[in-house]
Structure 1
Amino acid sequence: MAAYLYNREVKDDEYIGRVRRHTPSSLLPLIARAGAQYWVPQTWLNSPYKKLTPWNLADVARVSLVSGNEHRKSAVYQDLLESCAAYSSLVDPQLSGQAVSGGGSDIIAGFLLRKSAEQLVYNQSRWHDLGRTAAIFDQTAAKKPLNVLGDPGWVQSLLGCTIPQYIGIGFIVHTIAVKYEGRFLEDWLDDPVLEPITSEIPVRLVRDVIADHFMADVSFFQQERPNFHPSPYRRFTYNPLMGKPIVSGISDVRLVPVPGLIDRKISPLGLWYTGFDLWGSDFSDDVGELFEQYVGRQLDLIPNVVVQPEVVYREGKDEKRSVDWILVFDGVALLVEVKSARPTEPIRLGKEEAYDQMGTKLSKAFKQIDTTSQLIEDQHPKFSHIPKNLPRIGLIVTMEDFPIANAPALRARLGVFPSIPTCVCSSEDLELLVTITDQDICSFLSAFLADPSKIGWSLTNDVRDEARGHARNEVLDQAWKTYTWGLPPDALFLEAE
């Protein structure tokens, strides 16, 4: 019945009202149980009426925690289904024709930006995301001086533990939550299933790090109340569960409403936000340098090609730099520019400002590729080692996924018209691309960029094609080896995809 209860458009105030009918102490345990049951990507399609998706559950939990109170009726399972059904029927700010001030003129692009920001985080590979944390922050050396991360004690100052311990503690929380219906009690740290981790990480340290970084009580979430107002865009704004995915004070046990948010917390993106909150742009600049070198390490996995770093040249009195990496294959020269940028809130909301934000983050990368290509074409002395006669293609690698960054309409809106075929890809796409074995990578990229049926596509589907052969990603394998604690049996979804 829940699927048909809202077979119409629902406004945010009606949806919030539906959630607020019930006490947080009765609704949050139901959310946590559903979150634990359907945590593996795509299993939520088997939930009743396909409504118990992690993004639905995360927002229902947020609304209840921020604006609910204990002077309401207790919730039952049907109430959770109906709340999630109401969320699924929320009107889109632009597609509904009810765009508020600041809505963009490109309706479809705005819609896709919002949906991608809402859902993609729950569909990423755990093996890639969590291996990348150590690969970037523990195992990649900078080529330039660092502001914060050059201090050997930065990890301890930020997290109170090492990177491998931090990942392991996240695994502990995730494993307990999935096994115990979204509940977390520290007494359960003695569970034998966790012995491979707790034998390596002291239980007291586990408790301290959880308290400092993962957990908050109801009062923390209710700090959002003064700014919490119904709006067509509200559900795409920052959810405080992303920063504190464990909730205390609701019952006699802690609750993990959405296990996927534990993974986000210990991913490079989660660590970026933790570090940025403490050190600001000094930290983000350092991460940019490490990520650039990390991309170079990934490119080094490509067989039979020399990966060349950026070229420093002069233009008049000014010192200039080329793209970050240049690869010369037998049949093509690949120009790679790296951007550690993440989609900001205007991009996640798909508002008018999104295009300015994306232009700032991506337009410079396109320009850098075009400039380097022209220098090669003009046979600038600093680029004479790169054959002019080779076709040239470009690749822009971003730390996080930038949805629809390859769409022609979006590029036109940004004023980007590349002089050579160029594609934007995420770090996860790159990690798969460099391990392709059934076709040489230059041929794969050249064919992909030349295919008229794939104009505007990302690499995502093609690099994940089940018919395609892949080697192991040695950089990520090396990172996982630093997690010296073992993996709990039958509790993880960790295949190398």
Structure 2
Amino acid sequence: MDDALIYLNFLLQASQNPALDQSIYTFAQDNPGAISDFKIEFLAKWLIIKSRFTSPIILSPSELNWQAYLELSMLYDQIDDPIIHDPNFKNRNPVEVFVRMQYQQLQGQHRLALQSFGSAYLLFYETAARVATSVRYNIPERFRQLSGISIEQFMHLGFIFLASKAGPYGAIGTISQEYLNKAKMQGLDILTDENIQRFLDMTSCDHEAFRQVAIRSPYPVSDPEFVLYEFNPLKKFPLLQVHYDRWVAPNPALIIDRVTLGIYYDLLDADSTQFTQSFGTIFEEYVGDLLKSVYPETIVLREKVYGQPQKRGPADWVVIEGDTAILFECKSFIPNLNFVSISSQADIEQYARRVANAIRQTHQHINEIQAGEPQLQEFTGSVFKIVVLTVGRIQTVNTVFFKQEIDTILAAKGISNLSYTVLSLQEFELLLSLVERDVLLTELLDRLEGENQGEALTPYQEMLSQNATPSLVAQKGEEIITFFRNHQVS
């Protein structure tokens, strides 16, 4: 079992790095999807859960090798999407399938460590600390209460565990106590026994604990047709204990997710609405910091408070690009487990309504401007573009099928022909990396609205291959990563 998990770790990385195994890398390039993040994560979960019941046959977890993986992969590929078994599937919303497909296809190599670490540190530590008094919720202090370590220590330890190559294949995400002891002797003072244990309490579990998390409500799906998409405990515990002094991450990229955006879930689980009510303001402030980092502050405008009774508008933030006013409405949510796993019509409608409500709210202010509201007169005559910003990505939200759901809700309120785009924080930061190099955001938004989603940014691929992170975020991410580089274990 433990060797099988280590082998899955190796396979995923070899599929992305020819230096580990040229033949596996070539196979993966020639057969897209044969070795994917989602497949490796699912198989790791399946092996742990089923190992209690599996007899030593050809697919025994203890004997996983290349040939056995191929056989497992073939079985995996025979799993149909649940919609196929619905006799009324031709009348079902295609968004259901598209969301589940995109959820499977998210690739770890697309998670930029620089962006993930930098963005999360700025959001959960620097911005959150700055506004802690006004929102009456101190994220850095609350996280320390929950974990026993600081956010900065949590991220530093995450990068140390991510970069470790203590396994038999020389792949990252394999950790041993021997490696940690050696690193501490070479100057990584953060690796105290207490810090390591507190970090592992947050990010690691053994096989039995993994099984218990997997069956804990609300994680299991009620319909076995959707078992492929149900919650994987690797999202919460990316490090699996494979010996009393060894750990492995089947997908090391999940360590990055856990010590960055995973902080959101730690606070949500602990404090529920107390956290979410405060986090909205924190997210809004961070969006403002990002905008001011790439635009002159004179054209980045905070929402106004005006009128009797008091109103706030025209949006959380406005950027003026030529004759266009880009209205940013910030919504600090991440799509829930039901949406990414089941993606039922009800789930789709829930998020379509949330987006539509944000657009409708902004549209009301546009109407006020066009009606001559004196407090908003600086926007008179502008062309308006609406951008709804979310913390997590709503898969397929900008496709024609999902927009039909949103537009139907808006049309019922008498709203039509609006220019709007929905962006996650990661997508927004990627676009700002281009704006920072003199690409107009209006141009990018036009392409996102008018082009095939997979081709909208094609003209900028060379620029993005060089840098896809705005400098504000990159500099902070570099600080986190440099900490480890300055203490590399030899």
Q: TM-score range by the shorter chain?
A: 0.7 to 0.9
Of the candidates 148, 152, 163, which is equivalent to residue 175 of structure 1? 163
In the aligned structure 1, how far is the partner of 2:242 from the partner of 2:276? 34
Q: Is the 8 A contact 1:168 1:485 kept in 2?
A: no
Match of 1:68 among 44, 51, 58: 51
Deviations 1:215-255 (A, max 9, x none): 11122122234857882211212101111111125676322
Residues 168 and 217 of structure 1: CA distance in aligned 2, closer, same or farther (over 3 Å): same
Cα distance between partner residues in 1 of 2:182 and 2:480: 20
For 1:241, the equivalent position in structure 2 comes to: 234
**Residues 293 and 70 (structure 1 numbering): CA distance in 2 closer, same or farther, change over 3 Å?**
same
**Does structure 2 retain, via aligned residues, the 8 Å contact 1:104–1:110?**
no
Whether contact under 8 Å (2:132, 2:138) holds in the other structure is: no
Q: Are the aligned partners of 1:394 and 1:422 in contact in 2 as well (CA < 8 Å)?
A: yes
Does residue 1:99 correspond to 2:86, yes or no?
A: yes
- Secondary structure class of the residue paired with 1:138: helix
* Letter matched to residue 487 of structure 1: F
Q: Structure 1: any 5+ residue segments left out of the alignment?
A: 1-23, 492-497
Please give the secondary structure, in 2, of the residue aligned with 1:405.
Answer: coil
Matched-pair contact (CA < 8 Å) for 1:332–1:442: no
2:330 is equivalent to residue 338 of structure 1: yes
Q: Deviations for 1:163-187, whole angstroms, at most 9, x for unmatched residues?
A: 2211111111111158644532121
Distance 1:484 1:326 in 2: 33
CA contact (8 A) 1:247 1:254 kept: yes
Quick one: distance in 2 between partners of 1:430 and 1:401?
A: 10
CA displacement at 1:45 relative to structure 2: 6.4
Matches within 5 A, 1:10-409: 24-38=1-15, 46-47=26-27, 49-50=31-32, 51-69=34-52, 72-73=55-56, 74-77=62-65, 78-94=67-83, 96=84, 98-99=85-86, 105-120=91-106, 122=108, 123-140=110-127, 141-142=130-131, 145-149=134-138, 153-177=141-165, 180-181=170-171, 183-191=174-182, 199-223=188-212, 224-225=214-215, 227=220, 231-249=224-242, 253-268=246-261, 270-304=262-296, 305-314=298-307, 317=309, 319-348=311-340, 349-386=342-379, 388-409=380-401
Paired residue type of 2:447:
F
How far did residue 372 of structure 1 move?
2.0
SS at match of 1:483: helix
CA distance in 1, matches of 2:432, 2:269: 33
TM-score, scaled relative to structure 1: 0.81
C-alpha distance in structure 1 between counterparts of 2:347 and 2:481, whole Å? 42
SS of the residue 1:207 aligns to: helix
The answer on 1:444 being equivalent to 2:446 is no
Asked whether the equivalents of residues 239 and 247 of structure 2 are also in contact (C-alpha less than 8 Å), the reply is yes
What is aligned with 1:461? 457
Shift of 1:382: 1.8
In 1, Cα distance between equivalents of 2:17 and 2:329: 33
Q: Alignment partner of 1:423: what SS?
A: strand
Q: 2:206 & 2:333 partners in 1: Cα distance?
A: 31
SS in 2 for 1:311: strand
Is the 8 Å Cα contact of residues 154 and 259 (structure 2) preserved in structure 1? yes
Contact conserved, 1:114 with 1:350, CA < 8 A, in 2? yes
Give yes or no for contact 2:386–2:420 (8 Å, CA) kept in 1: yes
Quote how far apart the aligned CAs of 1:364 are.
Answer: 1.5
For residues 288 and 174 of structure 1, what CA distance do their matches in structure 2 show?
30
Whether the aligned pair in 1 keeps the contact of 2:147 and 2:199 (CA below 8 Å) is no
Q: Which residue identity is paired with 2:63?
A: A
TM-score by length of 2: 0.82
**Structure 1 residue 161: deviation in Å?**
1.7
Which structure: greater helix fraction? 2
Q: CA RMSD in A?
A: 3.4
Task: List aligned pairs for 1:464-475, cutoff 5 A.
Answer: 464-467=460-463, 473-475=470-472
Query: How many residue pairs were aligned?
Result: 455
The alpha-carbon deviation at position 447 of structure 1 amounts to 4.1
Instruction: Kindly provide the amino acid, as one letter, of the partner of residue 199 in structure 1.
Output: L
Partner SS, residue 435 of structure 1: helix
Q: Aligned partners of 2:91, 2:143: CA distance in 1, in Å?
A: 44
- Give a deviation string over 1:417-476, Cα, whole Å, max 9, x none: 654311111212222322325544255246426x74x1x638973585215797972321
Give the Å deviation of 1:375: 1.7
Pairwise CA distance, 1:134: 0.6
In structure 2, C-alpha distance between the alignment counterparts of 1:69 and 1:287, rounded to whole Å: 41
**Aligned-pair identity (%):** 18
1:318–1:310 Cα change, 3 Å:
closer
Letter aligned with residue 233 of structure 2: P
Task: Tell me the residue number matched to 1:20.
Answer: none
Could you list the structure 1 runs, at least 4 aligned residues long, displaced by more than 6 angstroms after superposition.
Answer: 468-472
Query: Residue type matched to 1:352 in 2?
Result: Q
SS in 1 for 2:82: coil
